[in-house]
Amino acid sequence: MPAPTPASPPQSFLQIVQSCDSFPAADQVQNGAAPEETLIPWLLSSSPTSPAVGLLRPEIVAQLRKETEAFDGSRGSWFFGQDSETGREWVSFADEIDTPSARSRVVKELCERWRDVGLWPEEIGPGKWRNELYPVYRDPFGTHDYPGNADEDVHGDNLNYAFRMERAATGLFGIVIYGVHVTVYEEVPSKDGKQPEYKIWVPRRAATKQTWPGYLDNSIAGGIEAGSGVLDCVVKEAMEEASIPEDIVRRYARPTGTVSNLVRTPGGWFQPELGFVHDLCLPPNSGIQPRPLDGEVESFELLSLDKVIEHMRSGLFVSNSATVLVDFMVRKGVISPDDEPHYQEIVARIHRKFRHEFWVTCAVHNVIKRAGKRTASTQVDDQTEDTQPIIEVEEFKI
């Protein structure tokens, strides 16, 4: 990615959010704003009602089919389902790949093989590989109950946790990724008792970063690896990126919610992101100043909020970090419904639901025909076909 150049004309707050939340929502797709290619849901098992954990582009599905047909080592790892009437497809693990460790093993072997033979080098090539494992959950908004690195199967397959995989490959599979964002700032009360003045510590990413080199960023940010808690990740990233000691983080950092976006990357990959947001307001005259430590940040600068907004409108920030700053300004009342005509859409789009159930219904629609009416959560017994009524679902056209 080239170094940032100022956008012209300046972007609105809604455009800033849209640059990150760039994948159509379910209602937009249903109203005709469909992506340019058919995306295939990735389910945990062969049942079309199994939880969907990802969304695959046709080229990924084609490669999985090719390997399943050509390599004995991959035979039995994948299932390819298709609705005989509508032609809609889904991909899942084969039924015998039914534990977290088995799924992790299959995905690890697959992604390392693709890396080694040079497939999708812009995503998983040697220069992009992170050697960081990210957890995958059945419900991304559910309990994050990763059982630890020692034994993934200690609780059987009864957790929300499903498996883990290499961070760099998550975009290829449309996996939800999780991270932390911390806004480190100073607050100066106004003399008239109204809106205080905010100054934010803004880092510039190192030119050697794999992603967004040279762009402005949120004060502290980082991905949550498998086995790391949210606050643990905040503490770790604060020291590594900004030289802020643990005791300062634990004393002043406050969780303020989450931001979630559906991102279509420049390479066309589908990447849902969920960030746990924290504010870290430094007390007056604290003498605490973020400083680069691990080489990922080139410098820090304390900027007025007006200057931060100017840089945001110019497109000089990493897109998801700009979204976090929009959330900060909404929470602080800097962006208000009286002054911002797109207030409701902005708020909604920085807190997107990923609607995994629509990925499933895309695969389920018309797969099972029965007489009568039934809810989508009811189990189907193929041995009693004549007495089992239909699963009724809403079709979602991706």
Report pLDDT digits (tens) over 315-334: 999 999 999 999 999 999 99
User: Given the structure tokens 């300046």, which residue do they identify?
Assistant: 10
Q: What is the rounded average pLDDT of the residues 62-76?
A: 76
On the question of pLDDT at 372 being above 50, the answer is no
33 against 320, higher pLDDT: 320
At 262 the three-state DSSP class reads: strand
193: which 2 tokens? 């008792």
On the question of pLDDT at 293 being above 90, the answer is yes
On the question of pLDDT at 180 being above 90, the answer is yes
As a whole-number percent, the residues of the chain with pLDDT over 90 amount to 69
On the question of pLDDT at 386 being above 50, the answer is no
List phi, psi (to 5°) of 243: 60, 30
Q: Would you state the pLDDT for residue 83? A: 79
User: Given the structure tokens 């700009």, which residue do they identify?
Assistant: 322
Q: Would you state the pLDDT for residue 170? A: 97
44 against 5, higher pLDDT: 44
On the question of pLDDT at 57 being above 50, the answer is yes
278 Cβ contact partners less than 8 Å away, ≥ 6 residues apart = 180, 181, 182, 183, 234, 253, 254, 255, 256
Q: Would you state the pLDDT for residue 274? A: 96
185: which 2 tokens? 């700032």
Q: Would you state the pLDDT for residue 359? A: 59
Q: Would you state the pLDDT for residue 361? A: 58
Work out the widest C-alpha separation in the chain, in whole angstroms.
Answer: 77
Please, is 271 exposed, middle or buried when counting C-beta atoms within 10 Å of its C-beta (0-12, 13-18, 19+)?
buried
On the question of pLDDT at 5 being above 90, the answer is no
Sign of CA dihedral 322, 175, 51, 234: negative
* pLDDT tens digits, 241-271: 999 999 999 999 999 999 999 998 888 899 9
* pLDDT tens digits, 347-363: 999 999 887 656 555 55
On the question of pLDDT at 368 being above 50, the answer is no
Q: How far apart are CA 79 and CA 45, in angstroms?
A: 8
Lowest pLDDT segment from 4-13, 24-33, 115-124: 24-33
Q: How far apart are CA 18 and CA 314, in angstroms?
A: 14
As a whole-number percent, the residues of the chain with pLDDT over 70 amount to 84
Lowest pLDDT segment from 67-71, 149-153, 205-209: 67-71
Q: Would you state the pLDDT for residue 31? A: 43
* pLDDT tens digits, 70-90: 765 445 799 999 878 877 889
**Average model confidence (pLDDT) for the chain?**
85
* pLDDT tens digits, 201-226: 999 999 998 789 999 999 999 999 99
211: which 2 tokens? 């992603």
CA angle 330–333–334, rounded 5-degree value: 80
Q: Would you state the pLDDT for residue 35? A: 52
Q: Would you state the pLDDT for residue 15? A: 96
pTM of the model: 0.85
On the question of pLDDT at 64 being above 90, the answer is yes
Q: Would you state the pLDDT for residue 200? A: 98
Cβ atoms of residues 134 and 226 within 8 Å: yes
CB-side exposure of 192: number of CA atoms within 13 Å?
Answer: 3
On the question of pLDDT at 393 being above 80, the answer is no
Q: Would you state the pLDDT for residue 149? A: 72
* pLDDT tens digits, 295-305: 999 999 999 99
Cβ atoms of residues 137 and 162 within 8 Å: yes
List phi, psi (to 5°) of 378: -75, 140
Helix (H) or strand (E) holding 16: helix 13-20
Sign of CA dihedral 135, 136, 141, 143: negative
On the question of pLDDT at 381 being above 70, the answer is no
Q: What is the rounded average pLDDT of the residues 129-144?
A: 94
Q: Would you state the pLDDT for residue 358? A: 65
Q: Would you state the pLDDT for residue 397? A: 34
Q: Would you state the pLDDT for residue 37? A: 78
146 Cβ contact partners less than 8 Å away, ≥ 6 residues apart = 135, 161, 164, 226, 227
Q: Would you state the pLDDT for residue 338? A: 97
